[in-house]
Amino acid sequence: MSIEFSLQSARPTEVEADLLVIPVLAGAELGPGGDALDAALGGGLAAFMDQAHFEGKRAATLAVPAGDGVASGAVLLLGVGESSELDADAFRRLGATIAKRSRKHASVASTVVDVPTDAVERVDAAQAFAEGVVLGSYQYLEYKSEGEAGQLARVTVLGRRGARVARALDRGARVAQAAAWTRDLVNVPSLDKAPETVVASTRALLRGTGVRVTVWEGQKLVDERLGGVIGVGQGSSRPPRLMKLTYSPAAARTSLALVGKGVVFDSGGISIKPASGMETMKTDMSGAGAVIGAMSALADLEVKTKVTGYVPLVENMPSGDAIRPGDVLTHRNGKTVEVINTDAEGRLILADALALAAEDGHDAVIDLATLTGACVVALGEKVAGLMGNNDAWTDQILAAGERAGEPIWKLPLPKDYRKQLDSEVADLKNIGDRYAGALTAGLFLSEFAGDGPWAHLDIAGPARAGSDDGYLTKGGTGFGVRTLLELVTKFRKPR
């Protein structure tokens, strides 16, 4: 169910919503609409907050008995903390808090976006708030017999009218809806997520969005020499696919390629993973999910650049047909790889996809992949690792991540480590030595990315959340969708 946002300048006490949320700043200072509420309640609000020890700390809430003077059914005070600390991410989190408190309500109205702050422009606050509401209300109930779906359908943002702010609310809702779709796909159990099924879901999602979907399978993958995709996929009874998604607006002057790792389940293959935690490997297609989800919103966001998605989809399974350690694969660009560890499979399928993207000659390429546990060790579960061959391009990505509120940290690609990938029998092998696994994985990919601007975002940590936290919900997070949509909106050819 999608949530509708509207911007109104009505008096908060006269708005008829199921829930009215009034912000309170640190020190129990009433925010916009607070005085009107106080007057409508007969002037006891300060004493009421005092008795409840409510100080306006960020995300603290206090229910207020609504009287006849208030048109809404219920009233909630929402702490927003210090106004100087109210940046975009704070609004995203406040949106999520409101969403969680409105689960049982169909409509909510709030003045929170009107809280004055120097830490963010009001348009950006509005977008972030809408994102927070939609992402914070996300639930995955597909496999629950008696899951209770949230009721929230309408959000009225109270404050000064302005076309830019109204558009920002719509944009935030659209961006978050794309990320929610990605969360859904990531959360699907692998049993119901064969490569072929992902193709079908993608086709259904992209129908009517101006994105063309072409799919390679079977002999076509052989004819097109995608040795990595075929090799990794051959252990599974559910065969691999390569999807190409094309968004080509009239008069586009720049062209960007998005590549996403789509391992629908990563058992490790013959180099099988330990049992504990293996269930989380249903999320090993999060890079693919981010690319597909982002592409679904390009037309709605009126993106002007050409965007092409390359999505290899495989299941990494051990079987009599699976590739073995020691096997050699030949990739799209002719390079041969000795597979030392079949669990380092993501780079093998990305190798083909990156080579394809390089052939097509885009202005820049970015890949997203849940690629290495080493990146999680280095940066934890909230921060993605960025590597690349062009500083202007990685700077653009860092800036997009910053604006989108998705933490990204740049890592190096030390030339000196390349020799770790030297193979005795092939052009290179698929793993390095014990240390710096995120970087040797990045170096491996760089061998297939060609000479144009390319960057690699390792999202092994942030693609999944271990618990609910603000606008993140346990399971798939949709990480990357917001950054990609910022990136395509402001894309400039890197030099």
Binding site for Zn ion (CB under 5 A): 263, 266, 284, 343, 345-346
Q: Give the range of 179-187, 327-335, 338-346, 396-404 binding ligand BES by CB under 6 A.
A: 338-346
Q: Binding to ligand BES by residue 372, rule CB under 6 A?
A: yes
d(CA 155, CA 431): 50
Nearer to ligand BES, 152 or 376 (CB): 376
- Sign of the torsion formed by the C-alpha atoms of 82, 88, 90 and 91: positive
**Total chain residues near ligand BES (CB under 6 A):** 16
Provide, rounded to whole angstroms, the least separation between the CB of residue 335 and ligand BES. Answer: 18
**Residue 459 interface partner, choices Zn ion, ligand BES, none, CB cut-off 5-8 Å depending on type:** none
Question: First vs last Cα of the chain: how many Å apart?
Answer: 43
Provide, rounded to whole angstroms, the least separation between the CB of residue 405 and ligand BES. Answer: 21
Applying CB under 6 A, which of residues 18, 170, 266, 363 lies at the interface with ligand BES? 266
Catalytic residue status for 238: no
**Residue 341 interface partner, choices ligand BES, Zn ion, none, CB cut-off 5-8 Å depending on type:** ligand BES
Q: Which of 57, 154, 273, 382 is catalytic?
A: 273
Q: What's the alpha-carbon Rg for the chain, to the nearest Å?
A: 24
Alpha helices in 270-388 (DSSP H): 286-295, 346-360, 373-379
- Picking from 17, 28, 43, 176, the residue whose alpha carbon sits closest to that of residue 101 is 17
Q: Binding to ligand BES by residue 344, rule CB under 6 A?
A: yes
Q: Binding to ligand BES by residue 345, rule CB under 6 A?
A: yes
Applying CB under 6 A, which of residues 38, 343, 352, 486 lies at the interface with ligand BES? 343
Nearer to ligand BES, 344 or 465 (CB): 344
For 299, phi then psi, to 5°, come to -65, -45
d(CA 480, CA 220): 30
Nearer to ligand BES, 124 or 343 (CB): 343
Q: Which of 122, 347, 429, 464 is catalytic?
A: 347
Q: How far is CA 298 from each of CA 1, 368, 457, 485, rounded to the nearest angstrom?
A: 20, 18, 20, 8
Q: Where in 227-280 does DSSP place strands (E)?
A: 241-247, 255-260, 262-266
Residue type for position 246:
T
Catalytic residue status for 273: yes
Q: Give the range of 4-12, 39-47, 75-83, 373-381 binding ligand BES by CB under 6 A.
A: 373-381
Q: How far is CA 129 from each of CA 90, 197, 417, rounded to the nearest angstrom?
A: 8, 33, 43
For 96, phi then psi, to 5°, come to -65, -40
Residue entry with tokens 């080509």: 248
Provide, rounded to whole angstroms, the least separation between the CB of residue 295 and ligand BES. Answer: 22
Structure token digits, residue 399: 């800036």
Q: Binding to ligand BES by residue 370, rule CB under 6 A?
A: yes
Structure token digits, residue 233: 């996929």
Q: Give the range of 110-118, 186-194, 344-352, 417-425 binding ligand BES by CB under 6 A.
A: 344-352
Applying CB under 6 A, which of residues 374, 443, 484, 488 lies at the interface with ligand BES? 374
**Which residues are CB-contacts of 144 (< 8 A; sequence separation ≥ 6)?**
none
**Residue 175 interface partner, choices Zn ion, ligand BES, none, CB cut-off 5-8 Å depending on type:** none
Nearer to ligand BES, 260 or 346 (CB): 346
**Residue 376 interface partner, choices Zn ion, ligand BES, none, CB cut-off 5-8 Å depending on type:** ligand BES
Q: Give the range of 60-68, 222-230, 367-375, 412-420 binding ligand BES by CB under 6 A.
A: 367-375
Q: Binding to ligand BES by residue 460, rule CB under 6 A?
A: yes
Residue type for position 199:
V
d(CA 181, CA 198): 12
Applying CB under 6 A, which of residues 284, 352, 363, 447 lies at the interface with ligand BES? 284
DSSP string, 25-79: ETTTEE-TTHHHHHHHTTS-HHHHHHHTT----TT-EEEE---TT--SSEEEEEE
In DSSP terms, which residues pair with 63 in a beta bridge?
76
Q: Binding to ligand BES by residue 338, rule CB under 6 A?
A: no
Applying CB under 6 A, which of residues 162, 249, 325, 373 lies at the interface with ligand BES? 373
**Residue 373 interface partner, choices Zn ion, ligand BES, none, CB cut-off 5-8 Å depending on type:** ligand BES
Task: Return the axis-axis angle of helices 163-187 and 286-295, rounded to nearest 10°.
Answer: 140
Provide, rounded to whole angstroms, the least separation between the CB of residue 138 and ligand BES. Answer: 21
d(CA 114, CA 122): 8
Provide, rounded to whole angstroms, the least separation between the CB of residue 138 and Zn ion. Answer: 24
Provide, rounded to whole angstroms, the least separation between the CB of residue 391 and Zn ion. Answer: 28
Q: Report, as residue numbers or ranges, the catalytic residues.
A: 273, 347
Contacts with ligand BES, residue ranges (CB under 6 A)? 266, 284, 341, 343-346, 370-374, 376, 431, 437, 460
